[in-house]
Structure 1
Amino acid sequence: LFCDHHMSHAASAFFASPFDEAAVLTIDGVGEWTTTTMGHATGNWNGNGENKIDLFWEQRFPHSIGLLYSAFTAFLGFEVNEGEYKVMGMSPYGEPNYVDQVKKLITIHSDGSFSLNMDYFAYHYSAHHSFNGRFTSLFGEPRVHNSDFFTARSAPHRAGETEAVRRNQYYADVAASIQVVTEEAMIAMANALYERTKSKRLVMAGGVALNSVGNFKVLQQTPFEEIYIQPAAGDDGGALGAALWAYHIVLGQPRKMVMQHTYYGQDYTDDEIRAFLDSTGAAYECFEDDDALLDRVVEEIINQKVIGLFQGRFEWGPRALGNRSILADPRRAEMKDIVNTKIKFREPFRPFAPVVPVECAAEYFEFPGVETSWPARFMLMVSPVKPDKMDAAKATTHEGGTGRLQTIDRDTNPRYYELVRRFGEATGVPILMNTSFNLRGEPIVSSPANAWWTFTNSGIDWLMIGRYLVGKPS
């Protein structure tokens, strides 16, 4: 029994969504020989309807939006299939001054299809290089991997380093340009898909569906009214898609499940956590009263301490959504630099996510319908911050005045929700800064041992793990 790559993407998105029918868009690097598909899906809920996914159009290798973006990822000094989100984070520091040059590499057609000019690329014949000499003749020398990236806007105190600022600003402008062209391609495909299906609902999957800036543009600039993006939209969601395809299409079983959260990983009991902490000799405080623990953690955050949060089942997919997270006060802009450089040990231009109770999101973000948005639950859209709220959460407002928000509700994650709510009650700002509980280059922690290692090898001040609070020697 074989489910091909893009069908697994499509099934992972549609059969996890709440929709009874939807247009389907999958965009990635390449799977088998396909790079993009468009289609339409219907579902059988409780014996009504038909489980069916019709992928009626495809783009084949070597023409690929994902591989185009990856070529620029490599050019900008990041690792392919790992650093694409860094390009997206770099792009707001630049201006899209090189869109015309990027468009020498890609033609976007009126029917939503696209073609690449393969004269500039090497990935279709090389296992080691994404682009060739003609590419560098057009865009110049690639950025050196791991070189220090800063601009006059991201590091005004280094504005005197004029040559480095000039060089880095060029790379930021290139990042902004490929981001704009990628968004244009996504919007063109979505508009063409709407014209073909006339559906008001869209499901998306594939690695390009993790481009949260582009996702918001698709929502805002196409006729689609609702979008669902399966949170493990990349290849990590393939196994889910294949299983759902087999269950619903091959076996014809009716739909029952909507993926409303990502907490499907392993859980650890309080006894297991205590046993591990005892084995390390760590000093910890045990809270029988959860309210007392939450109040204490909120107090520490207000006192500018950084918290490692480890609770419940770990998240499935690439985002830390409150069970394996690092939390901090977003009100001070310098908290971004503290967590980036002293705790995560990562590039200082990288943004952090604002987590906000769903009922408060519309007050802070220019995101129509945010209260019912599924991608906002999974941190899969970047929205403008309202102008009068720009200074409320400076550490999570990225360059250009946006935030890759996560909305939360009490039912989905009660303790996480209460931390944010109580922080808002105490400070007037119902937002916390959230980033994944890991150090640069490492996976998100999954076990108490992982959490302890990351806690002790970073500047995190407190570890909230289960019902225990672990500090560091003063």
Structure 2
Amino acid sequence: MIILGIGGILKDAACAVLVDGELVAAIEEPKVAPHGPQGGLPIHAAMMALQLAGVEPGDVQTVALARPFAETNGRHHLHVELRELFPSARIVTVEHHQAHASSAYFASPFEYASVLTLDRSGDFRCGSRWRAAGNQIHLEKEISYPDSLGDLYSRVTHLLGFQPGADEHKVQWLSTAGSPDLAALFRSILVQEGIGLRVDRSWFDNDRMNGGGFSARFYMALGLEDGAEIPADMKPRIAAGLQSAIERLVIEMAGEGENLCLAGGLALNALLVAALERSGHWKNVFVQPAAGNSGTAIGAAYHAWHVVHGRDQRAPMTTLSLGPSFTSEEIKKVIENCKLGFRYLLTTDEVLEAAITQLAADKIVAWMQGRMEFGPRALGQRSILASPLNPYSTENLNVFIKHREPFRKFAASVPVELASEYFDVGRNARFLATVGRVRDAHRKTFESAVLGDGLVRVHTVDPQENPLFHKLLLSWGRKTGLPVLYNTSFNLFGDPLVCTPRDAVRSFYSSGIDALVVGNFLLEK
């Protein structure tokens, strides 16, 4: 049975393909058509995903469409378009938070779980709690907009001078530099009601369009004049207060038990995931790593397989390497068309040695191998790498390549079997969805990546999932005694992760990256 899931139509459109219940391909439209319009079907991504699955559009038996979608087009318009594209398919629609919940539970390794979904808004809802067992998920509680944790996070994002709806992750990382003494203020805004929530609207001014729309009451509580610009030294305190309040509230909302699954935009908050892992309230916590709108494509497909078609067979998510890969011939054609010099590396050992030689010389290396990752995080397929032994590596990455704020640190990639020697971290580090702590013996080594209180972003690399990147880390460890590399996403200026060799070459020559290892090809400046 071929099922195509489509989600995030209004923002972050994506698609996923299930073949007999197994997730075999998933791609976001902005990565393959970065200049295309938002608000439509992810046609380019869908055609590419089906090609990767080895099937034709006419082979698709079910198209599962996650809400919401543009009401100006209307359901009828979308159905007509889908019928033309997939003439043999049954079309089903899936409520937004149902898709989030399905993406978390059915992707997990659990036979039963509680599922919590939290975001800004979706179908007028911003949160829900579910009870899941076998192939069924049952709604226990839902939270309706505007009583939204995600909305408050976006308001604070705006207040601190960032772009709401895009830069919430910056607030998360900024919070690690501040004291959480303002947490009580945010708990006054967020009124818990059992496993539900009510937001006290008196803290907002509906007529104020800037600064997150906070009211005079909020500014007074900060000791500022109404509408005043937030002082620079207060911004980390505000971020930390918000983060602390939300962590405590979500832990209380989640309750306790054996298995907890998370999805929704708020589940992209790695500090929140770590807080849940360490709360001691749950034996196991699993976050669907592409937890935002794009992940509803996966959830819609899983929902169709298990709920619509009633199938019991489970195939949990084992990798996010679900996008396209490129042959040596395809890569070579791009490089030669761009009239670039290169060195062809005949064997895997030569590929590894070339990268290690560059890294050992304190060079910044772009690494493009295998299938593109699904979701917002680079997991060793589309990565920029640097040596932790270079004291200037994070500064070089931030200032000369990524052009971003110094409080945003880089992940440390480490073989999963060696991770505990250097870090204390939960299982969600496999998909970079949580944070860990540096072991005391290695604080000095990783000080440039530490976020605060010894926190560090950790990516544990499994040899079954990403054997080449795992070998690179082990080879680097044999050479240096430290099997850890700093890893950040291979993209520039807010663009999506690079997808094609042409994307990689363009980003390489538009940045301060020193070398590019793409497939079996080495390019140097």
- TM-score (normalizing by structure 1): 0.87
Distance in 2, Cα, partners of 1:120 & 1:188: 23
Q: Which moved more, 1:204-213 or 1:126-135?
A: 126-135
- The Cα of 1:462 is off from its aligned counterpart by 0.4
Secondary structure of 1:418's aligned partner: helix
Match of 2:200 among 114, 117, 127: 117
Q: Which moved more, 1:125-134 or 1:439-448?
A: 125-134
Q: How many residues align?
A: 430
Distance 1:408 1:308, change over 3 A: same
- The Cα of 1:394 is off from its aligned counterpart by 2.9
Match of 2:303 among 245, 256, 267: 245
- The Cα of 1:256 is off from its aligned counterpart by 3.5
Secondary structure of 2:146's aligned partner: coil
Distance 1:129 1:335, change over 3 A: closer
Distance in 1, Cα, partners of 2:482 & 2:308: 49
- Checking the alignment, whether the CA contact within 8 Å between 1:210 and 1:234 is kept in structure 2 is yes
Match of 1:94 among 173, 178, 186: 178
Q: Residues 373-431 of structure 1, C-alpha deviation per residue, up to 9 Å, x if partnerless?
A: 2x111101111211111122233222331111110121111111111111111111111
Distance 1:87 1:296, change over 3 A: same
Matching residue of 1:310 = 368
Q: Does 1:445 align with 2:445?
A: no
Secondary structure of 1:171's aligned partner: helix
Matching residue of 2:85 = none
Distance in 1, Cα, partners of 2:391 & 2:383: 19
Secondary structure of 2:282's aligned partner: coil
Matching residue of 1:20 = 111
Summarize the alignment of residues 313-462 of structure 1 with structure 2, pairs less than 5 Å apart: 313-367=371-425, 370=426, 373=427, 375-462=428-515
- The Cα of 1:262 is off from its aligned counterpart by 0.5
- The Cα of 1:101 is off from its aligned counterpart by 2.1
Of Structure 1 and Structure 2, which has the larger fraction of its residues in strand? 2
- The Cα of 1:363 is off from its aligned counterpart by 1.0
> Structure 2: any 5+ residue segments left out of the alignment?
1-91
- The Cα of 1:11 is off from its aligned counterpart by 0.3
- The Cα of 1:10 is off from its aligned counterpart by 0.3
Secondary structure of 1:104's aligned partner: helix
Secondary structure of 2:522's aligned partner: strand
User: Letter of the aligned partner of 2:263 in structure 1?
Assistant: A
- Checking the alignment, whether the CA contact within 8 Å between 1:76 and 1:142 is kept in structure 2 is no
- Checking the alignment, whether the CA contact within 8 Å between 2:473 and 2:485 is kept in structure 1 is yes
- Checking the alignment, whether the CA contact within 8 Å between 1:352 and 1:396 is kept in structure 2 is yes
Secondary structure of 1:404's aligned partner: strand
Distance in 2, Cα, partners of 1:326 & 1:32: 37
- TM-score (normalizing by structure 2): 0.79
- The Cα of 1:63 is off from its aligned counterpart by 0.5
User: Letter of the aligned partner of 2:240 in structure 1?
Assistant: A
- Checking the alignment, whether the CA contact within 8 Å between 1:212 and 1:381 is kept in structure 2 is yes
Distance 1:122 1:414, change over 3 A: farther
Distance 1:20 1:379, change over 3 A: same
User: Letter of the aligned partner of 2:200 in structure 1?
Assistant: N
- The Cα of 1:122 is off from its aligned counterpart by 5.1
Q: Does 1:70 align with 2:161?
A: no
Match of 1:299 among 333, 341, 357: 357
- Checking the alignment, whether the CA contact within 8 Å between 1:331 and 1:391 is kept in structure 2 is no
- Checking the alignment, whether the CA contact within 8 Å between 1:143 and 1:171 is kept in structure 2 is no
Q: Does 1:182 align with 2:246?
A: yes
Distance in 1, Cα, partners of 2:467 & 2:357: 18
Matching residue of 1:203 = 261
* Percent pairwise identity: 34
Distance in 2, Cα, partners of 1:79 & 1:408: 32
Distance in 2, Cα, partners of 1:211 & 1:345: 22
- The Cα of 1:104 is off from its aligned counterpart by 2.6
* Structure 1 vs Structure 2 CA RMSD: 1.7
- Checking the alignment, whether the CA contact within 8 Å between 2:154 and 2:164 is kept in structure 1 is yes
